[in-house]
Amino acid sequence: MQVLVSVSLISQAAWRSGTPVKRLCVKAAKPWHFTSRGFVKTERLFRHRAQSTLSIVIRNWPTGAMARTWCSFHPSDPSPELKVPLGVLPTMLEIEDFSDERQKVWCIHCGAVLENSKVNHDHVPSKSLLSRDARQRGTNYDRGFGELDDYLPQVVICKSCNSSFSQDENYLLCVLHAATAGSLYPNPESHPEAAKVLKSNRHVVRELRESIEPQIPLFDEFRSFTFRPDSDRVIRAILKNARGHVYHEIGEPLFEEPERVTYRSLVSMADKEREAFEDTGGLEVWPEVGSRMLLRVINGVGLAGGWVTVEEDRYRYAVDWSSGITVRTVIWEYLATETYWTD
């Protein structure tokens, strides 16, 4: 379904000032035709040189999915037209959370009362695990621009906790690059991203180099590469994202330590192990009323076989609340993780 939206400026002075314009008239070709599926409201108007850009928020009912889009137009054209697709929505969308507000007063990591703390929006997964393009599109979306699927999941936590995770997140990033490139000093031509990251984190490379186990090469032209990363640091980075996924999807803060956190490469799994890991199970218990996951389950928004894909081939996750809470993630289609909390 396409909705034709006409935008009218309040006055010529509005766009000349360059300040956001809140009172804009939004009309649809069929005003009542699209309200059963969603509504559109204007959010911000920015002026850049001869062009003005209107940021528009779209909410799709009954899914509750929210997304932003925009149109650019010349001030001399007071009635630009923008076609907004509301029928088919992409996988990664901003879904409004209607879960219990009483669960949102604490930092999910340290339990500090957010009202009394400096807070930040923390991206889950860590943005460093995504491609540069996805990170930039997510930033643009947060600023009011971007395509429908540019949203990146995020939760509100205290600033202190957000800062404390940086080193562990960076460590995990280096471990992943070294493992997938097969070297602590990858070739910039064949692995440009890995080479850049590892070169700029020489202190981590030194730590990993010390953990490399001496091995006898089987062939002169082939040298096996094995290192042992600091498991505690890897687990802290995994746990940070797992807590965020649970809070983002079902609105439940988990302050206690999980019973287990495991990780291994997908290629090391036998066929039956891989099948069991990928199978998120059926719906035995409904998720929290008003939670994002409830809307996903009811309307199938952003779920593919129980998995939420943040970025194809870079990061996906699944949350299972049927018996305890289990969070599974797949990073770069290489590293599989599982975090489990008992009831």
What would the pLDDT profile of 95-132 be if each residue is shown by its tens digit? 778 888 888 999 999 999 999 999 999 999 999 999 99
Q: Is the pLDDT confidence value at 66 over 50? A: no
User: 8 and 58: one domain?
Assistant: yes
Q: Is residue 176 part of a domain?
A: no
Q: What is the C-alpha to C-alpha distance for residues 258 and 108, in angstroms, rounded to an integer?
A: 13
What's residue 29's pLDDT? 33
What's residue 95's pLDDT? 79
Lowest mean pLDDT among 75-79, 163-167, 208-212: 75-79
Q: Which of 205, 180, 201, 202 is nearest to 191 (CA)?
A: 180
Q: Write down which residue in 89, 124, 154 finishes a domain.
A: 89
Which residues make beta-bridge pairs with 38? 60
Structure tokens at 279: 């199978």
User: What integer is the mean pLDDT of 311-327?
Assistant: 90
User: 9 and 110: one domain?
Assistant: no
Lowest mean pLDDT among 213-222, 280-289, 318-327: 213-222
User: 119 and 69: one domain?
Assistant: no
Q: Is residue 188 part of a domain?
A: no
User: 15 and 157: one domain?
Assistant: no
Q: Is the pLDDT confidence value at 92 over 90? A: no
Q: How many domains does the chain have?
A: 2
User: What integer is the mean pLDDT of 188-215?
Assistant: 88
Task: Give the model confidence (pLDDT) of 277-286 as tens digits.
Answer: 988 766 667 7
Q: Is the pLDDT confidence value at 63 over 80? A: no
Q: What is the C-alpha to C-alpha distance for residues 100 and 281, in angstroms, rounded to an integer?
A: 26
Q: What is the C-alpha to C-alpha distance for residues 133 and 72, in angstroms, rounded to an integer?
A: 22
User: 14 and 111: one domain?
Assistant: no
Q: Is residue 335 part of a domain?
A: yes
User: 145 and 23: one domain?
Assistant: no
Instruction: Give the whole-number percent of the chain exceeding pLDDT 70.
Output: 65
Torsion angles phi and psi, residue 33, rounded to 5:
-70, -35
Structure tokens at 126: 């860590």
What's residue 292's pLDDT? 82
Q: Is the pLDDT confidence value at 18 over 50? A: no
Q: Is residue 143 part of a domain?
A: yes
Q: Is residue 206 part of a domain?
A: no
What's residue 287's pLDDT? 77
Q: Structural domain of residue 41, as residue ranges?
A: 2-89
User: What integer is the mean pLDDT of 55-75?
Assistant: 47
User: 36 and 159: one domain?
Assistant: no
Higher pLDDT, 145 or 121: 121
Q: Is residue 218 part of a domain?
A: no
Higher pLDDT, 150 or 301: 150
Q: What is the C-alpha to C-alpha distance for residues 158 and 160, in angstroms, rounded to an integer?
A: 5
Q: What is the C-alpha to C-alpha distance for residues 227 and 102, in angstroms, rounded to an integer?
A: 45
User: 116 and 260: one domain?
Assistant: yes
Listed in sequence order, the residues at least 6 apart from 338 whose beta carbon sits closer than 8 Å to its beta carbon are: 260, 261, 262, 263, 277, 326, 327, 328
User: What integer is the mean pLDDT of 290-319?
Assistant: 80
